[in-house]
Structure 1
Amino acid sequence: MNQYRGYEEIPYGQQHEQQYYQQSQHPEVHPYKEQQNQQQWYVPPLSYDSFTLRPAGRFAAGLCYVGFWMTGLLFLIFQNKKRLVRFHAIQSLLFFGAVNVMYIVLINIIQASIPFVSAFAIFLFVVMNIIAVVAWFVGLINAFSGKYTKLPLVGDIAEQYINRDATLK
């Protein structure tokens, strides 16, 4: 009866008579003992110092847009070392801060119930929401990609701020 012997070197075309497995007849090497001869990779132990609360540059830049102007402000205050993070934090703060101020103005106009002015304010509110969502996605995707993509109106201001800041250091 034939029994599979793995990767034994058998000349081509020959077949060996194989026996049923019996531990006393075949003293085999334990497979884990064979693995001891293989190269093992060194993994440094985890320590408290290896974890930080400061995310990497692209990740932090992307997080500047997650909470609109509030996270932009937080990252500008607490994580202002990297140029990419500062740029996106300032841009998020300025753009979504301006959008928030416009929301307040438009909501007050809508609540005033002036016939044609309120209808126009509702239209502007919808258009501004569409622009804000598109700008949010563009900023979020480009920040996570590590790109300096300027949003309309505030991108130049953010760029001037980080360039001015770079010349002072």
Structure 2
Amino acid sequence: MICLRCGEDVKKGYPEGICHFCGAARRYPASNGGGSTSTGINERTAALLSYLAGWVTGIIFFVLESNKFVRFHAMQSMITFGSISILLMLLDIVRQIFWALSKTGVAVALVFFSLLGLLSTLLWIGMLILWVILMVKAHQGETFQLPIAGKIAERQL
């Protein structure tokens, strides 16, 4: 967890949720597991759930929640997994075009069809790894920002 005042990494079990670098109180003390939300779910659990079904649960929690921590993770989920979903759909469309071209006798089209299939598979694997990391970080109470989506999500709050 990162201290909001000094930016140092604060260990989870540090007594009473105080940053041992600058003395500031942490936003999410480890002792209480996070605050409650407008949906009645623990904020860490709600943040985790906002990633569970990608952009779909992101939309649900962004609309239903007033807690900033949960709304941040919901928005980041919508942006991240929405963008990846669009990219995967576009890859599939282009891949199908190359498949159709390969049926007309354009041999190089089959190569591109295969390469796009490999790229799509790698993107799915990367998305799965990212999905697990984001859920774990959210449940730990961290405001883990992805480089682009996190900055956009922060501005939307």
TM-score, length-scaled by structure 2 = 0.65
Query: Which residue is 1:125 aligned to?
Result: 120
1:66 lines up with 2:24 in the alignment: no
Q: 1:101-154: per-residue Cα shift (whole Å, max 9, x none)?
A: 111111112222132321221121012112101110111001111101112421
Q: Shift of residue 160 of structure 1?
A: 2.0
- Point out where structure 2 has 5 or more consecutive residues left out of the alignment: 1-37, 100-108
Q: 1:43-92: per-residue Cα shift (whole Å, max 9, x none)?
A: xxxxxxxxx8531211100100111110000000111x111101100000
Query: Which residue is 1:37 aligned to?
Result: none
Query: Which residue is 1:158 aligned to?
Result: 153
> Which of 64, 68, 75 lines up with 1:90 in the alignment?
75
Over the residues paired in the alignment, what is the CA RMSD in angstroms?
Answer: 1.5
1:56 lines up with 2:14 in the alignment: no
Alignment of structure 1 residues 94-113 onto 2, 5 Å: 94-112=79-97, 113=99
- Point out where structure 1 has 5 or more consecutive residues left out of the alignment: 1-51, 163-169
Matches of 2:120 and 2:82 in 1, distance apart? 15
Matches of 1:71 and 1:55 in 2, distance apart? 14
2:141 partner amino acid: G
> Which of 61, 65, 68 lines up with 1:75 in the alignment?
61
Larger radius of gyration: 1
Runs of at least 4 residues of structure 1 off by over 3 A? none
2:62 partner amino acid: L
- Percent same amino acid among aligned pairs? 28
Over 3 Å counting, the alpha-carbon distance change for 1:75 and 1:134 in structure 2 is same
The count of corresponding residues between Structure 1 and Structure 2 is 110
CA contact (8 A) 2:39 2:64 kept: no
Matches of 2:119 and 2:150 in 1, distance apart? 22
Q: Secondary structure at the match of 1:86?
A: helix
